[in-house]
Chain A
Amino acid sequence: MSQALQDLKQLNNIPEFEERITEEEIKYTAPALDVMQMNVGRLCNLTCKHCHVEAGPSRTEIMDRRVMEACLAVCKEQGIRTIDITGGAPEMNPDFEWLVEEAVKICSHVIVRTNLVILGEEKYRHLPKFYAKHKIEVVCSLPYYQAKEMDRVRGNGTFEQAIEVLRKLNALGYGKEEDMVLNMVYNPAGAFFPPAQNAMEKEYKSRLWEDFGIVFNNLFTITNNPMGRFEAFLKRSGNLESYMKKLSDAFNGATLPGLMCRFQVSVGYDGKLYDCDFNQAADLPVMGGAAIFDMQGKSFEKRRICFANHCYGCTAGQGSSCGGATE
């Protein structure tokens, strides 16, 4: 168990997460997988203060083509409906475009998670058109609809650059045409919870339209998971215990059936399998410690999910997942 998970376990007044699950079935994945999430590397052009995988320009972990091929083979064999590509900035993986082109051949729903800012850099400026050509669902993170709050989390000037890219995506039809989906992610910029997803979506839509003429499809509000840089901030600022207490107090059993780990497998840059991207950050591999190569040529077997106290991040209030609120 990683140091971060041990630290969470030792906090006072926080019951073990797994003890809160009363139905045994919830501890297992669904009979078939809906989503394969591929973390293609931790290399990123940004160093966001809340990043749970601690991505940044100096990270060297990159998924190679051998791992990508195995992921694609498993998706094909098991009829997985969604391939969700994340990072880091996934665009910085040298095989990224190859992966996307191959992914759309076998899967009707391919998602790329982007920080937007990367798409304004010279080397990557062609990618919005590339996404449009392949009808990729773009899920972009925009921590706030105003510059000051976003720049505080991602660095000076990042908001303005992201707005430019959003305009470009809109001009290509993203957020406007039926099969050009542009979804946005909101993370709280501190030790507090996200607002009600539908209320914040209205707020984002109204502000981005009125201030910048930008449209998008859906807003996903995601609770910050106490891992990586966000966990370090919680410790440094003396907020770890109170944040975990708030998460634990806000535990909502109704979110358990929709936990994303029940419907997906998450693949690390080196092919290791995890129940979710947060478990990657926590260095908590799937039970038995398998890799993507072990799934090839085999039928899917239900998996016992590995839980720890960081999982409270997905069950507080309205629930949280890579696709937003779960209740």
Chain B
Amino acid sequence: METYYNPEDLAKFGTIGEESPAPAEKFFDYYGTVFAEGALTAREKSLIALAVAHTVQCPYCIDSYTNDCLNKGVSAEQMMEAVHVAAAIRGGATLVHGVQMKNIVKKLEL
């Protein structure tokens, strides 16, 4: 194995069902339902997926949903704004915990 991540492996995603088909089948059914057009458009869902892909830092998902967004007519500018939303939530989540730090400091300091 030369690298943990091979782009060709993305196309093998379906093979995760070989060892344990029942939950895999349920997962892929669920996955398909989630991304179908609903109260949110398929385009909006693709942008959410792209942002989350960056948050979980999954190269497969970033590849998939960058392509999917392009196929849904999303521009690079719109995609980057979605990535910034992910970054803001990640950054915000780190910073808001600073309040906990401050609480502890306040309790312990003279």
Chain A contact residues, CB within 8 Å of chain B: 144, 146, 148-149, 186, 188, 190, 192-196, 199-200, 203
Contact = CB atoms under 8 A, between A and B. Distances in A.
Lowest 9 A-B CB distances belong to which pairs? A192-B70, A195-B73, A195-B72, A193-B71, A200-B73, A192-B71, A149-B75, A199-B43, A199-B41
Interface of B: 37, 41-43, 67, 70-73, 75, 77
A144 B76 CA distance: 12
B3 to A, nearest CB: 20
The binding surface of chain A is classed by DSSP as: loop
Given A199-B42, A203-B43, A148 B72 contact: no
Nearest to B78: A146
Contacts of B73: 186, 188, 194-195, 199-200, 203
B34 to A, nearest CB: 17
Contacts of A195: 43, 71-73
A188 B75 CA distance: 10
Given A188-B70, A190-B70, A192-B67, A146 B42 contact: no
A188 B71 CA distance: 8
Nearest to A221: B73
B44 to A, nearest CB: 10
Contacts of B70: 188, 190, 192
Instruction: Tell me whether chain B's interface is mostly helix, strand or loop, or mixed.
Output: helix
Given A190-B70, A192-B67, A192-B70, A146 B75 contact: yes
A165 to B, nearest CB: 22
A148 B67 contact: no
B31 to A, nearest CB: 19
Contacts of A199: 37, 41-43, 72-73
Contact of A144 (B42, B71, B75): B75
Given A192-B67, A195-B43, A146 B72 contact: no
A146 B41 contact: no
A196 B42 contact: yes
Nearest to A203: B73
Contacts of B37: 199
A188 B73 CA distance: 7
A7 B43 CA distance: 34
A194 to B, nearest CB: 7
Contacts of B71: 188, 192-195
A106 to B, nearest CB: 38
A193 B73 CA distance: 8
A199 B37 CA distance: 10
B40 to A, nearest CB: 12
Residue of A144, A148, A186, A192 ringed by the most chain B CB atoms within 10 A? A192
Nearest to B11: A249
A144 B75 CA distance: 9
A146 B43 contact: no
A148 B41 CA distance: 24
Nearest to B73: A195
